Amino acid sequence: MSKLTIIDIAKMAGVSPSSVSLAINNRPGVSESTRRRIMDIVKQTNFVPSQSARSQIMKVTQNIAVLFNINSHPLDHLFHEGLNKYILKYCTENRYNLVFVACQFHDDLTPVELPPIILSRGVDGVVSYGYVPVSVITSLHKLDIPYLLLDSHQLPTDTMSIIVDYYAATQLAIQHLIKNGHKRIAYIGSNFPPQYSQQTFEGYRSMLEKLNIQVPLQWIQMQSSDVDGEDSAVIQVQSIMKSGERPTAVFCAADIYAIGAIRGIKQLGLRIPEDVSVIGIDDILVSSYIDPPLTTIRVDDEKLAKMGFDMLFKSITGSTHDKIHEIFNEFAVIERQSVRQIK
């Protein structure tokens, strides 16, 4: 009689092989009743898995990779700092290692070579933030590695994703400005990535339309990309301020743009918030340290990371998940000194 394998035990217990691996290694991810059923079969059959069987047959590495785009704006990494912190927390609680893997993302037309640790299946799952080229998504699908687009800037595909509702976040920002008496509100955003820029602009446009507020076309500024977001915002905000009638507030679709807008306004000899108010989205770390500290919209990173880890963990362990796509919309206004109340 041939030696039993983990796959044989899985068939006897009526579960997936990964569930057997979790039960044997005393890891979370299976119910207590399922764990007892598996372990009863293990005892009855005198099954003793080797370490190589656990790792090679099940391909369990206890590693989760975060794809890190070295071509993105340096401040983008500050935005994801909170997500990294909480993803690490949940990995640690569930006995996983978090591995940061550097990649170079350009655009959908430029092929991306995945790092060896992923190509060799040295990880159990992969997480990425924001925009990711289609070639990366396709390659990970071919490797059949559980993959989550967290804070996805892509349209929904057959890849697990959590889309942050920046339409709602933008409306919250505009509501805060209006509550403080502002109606002449300019917009600085970007055309890239399209999904993100569409959400923020529509949130801005629809809120002003709802309140029957019209603004000059020159007050709406779109960047062609976010690579030089801060420097571009300097030029854009100065274009707005020199266009004739001046807005009382500028909404920026990311804190990166808001930091550039503040610099550009100061270069014109104007004061913030006495002459012009500025609000952003993200609440990146430096937002509280600039002069003046930036009023912004904070995404609840802890809840977002928890939702993401739960989705990925269920995929890794073979558990079911009701949805492949989730919408996240938990935000808070962080009031600092860049927005003033006007009468």
Query: Are 188 and 173 found together in one domain?
Result: yes
Q: How many domains does the chain have?
A: 3
Per-residue pLDDT tens over the stretch 139-194: 888 887 888 999 877 666 778 899 999 999 999 999 999 999 999 999 999 887 77
Per the model's pLDDT, the better-predicted residue between 55 and 343 turns out to be 343
Classify strands 295-299 and 331-334 as parallel, antiparallel or unpaired: antiparallel
**Residue 248 covered by a domain:** yes
Query: Are 112 and 131 found together in one domain?
Result: yes
**Residue 1 covered by a domain:** no
> Average pLDDT for residues 60-83, to the nearest whole number?
76
Distances (CA, A) of 151 to 5, 97, 267, 291: 39, 21, 34, 28
> Which structure tokens are listed for 114?
């995945």
Query: Are 81 and 127 found together in one domain?
Result: yes
Query: Are 67 and 28 found together in one domain?
Result: no
Domain span including residue 286: 166-298
Rounded CA-CA distance 132/112 in Å is 10
Query: What b/e sequence results for 120-131 when a residue is b if at least 16 CB atoms lie within 10 Å of its CB, and e otherwise?
Result: eebbbbbbbbbb
> Which structure tokens are listed for 295?
């009023």
Mean residue pLDDT of the chain comes to 86
Rounded CA-CA distance 5/43 in Å is 14
Query: Are 115 and 90 found together in one domain?
Result: yes
Task: Output the pLDDT for position 194.
Answer: 75
Task: Mean pLDDT check: name the lowest of 78-82, 125-129, 138-142.
Answer: 78-82
**Residue 214 covered by a domain:** yes
Measured N-to-C along each axis, helices 6-13 and 17-24 cross at an angle, to the nearest 10 degrees, of 100
CATH number for the domain harbouring residue 50? 1.10.260.40
Query: Are 125 and 149 found together in one domain?
Result: yes
Per the model's pLDDT, the better-predicted residue between 291 and 102 turns out to be 291
* Contact present, 291 and 263 (Cβ < 8 Å): no
Task: Mean pLDDT check: name the lowest of 2-6, 42-46, 156-160, 179-183.
Answer: 2-6
> Average pLDDT for residues 265-287, to the nearest whole number?
95
CATH number for the domain harbouring residue 97? 3.40.50.2300
* Residue 292, burial from CB neighbour count under 10 angstroms (0-12, 13-18, 19+): middle
Residue 281's beta-bridge partner residues?
297
* Residue 116, burial from CB neighbour count under 10 angstroms (0-12, 13-18, 19+): exposed
Residue 136's beta-bridge partner residues?
none
Query: Are 17 and 119 found together in one domain?
Result: no
Asked if residue 227 has pLDDT above 60, the reply is no
pTM of the model: 0.79
Per the model's pLDDT, the better-predicted residue between 55 and 313 turns out to be 313
**Residue 336 covered by a domain:** no
**Residue 343 covered by a domain:** no
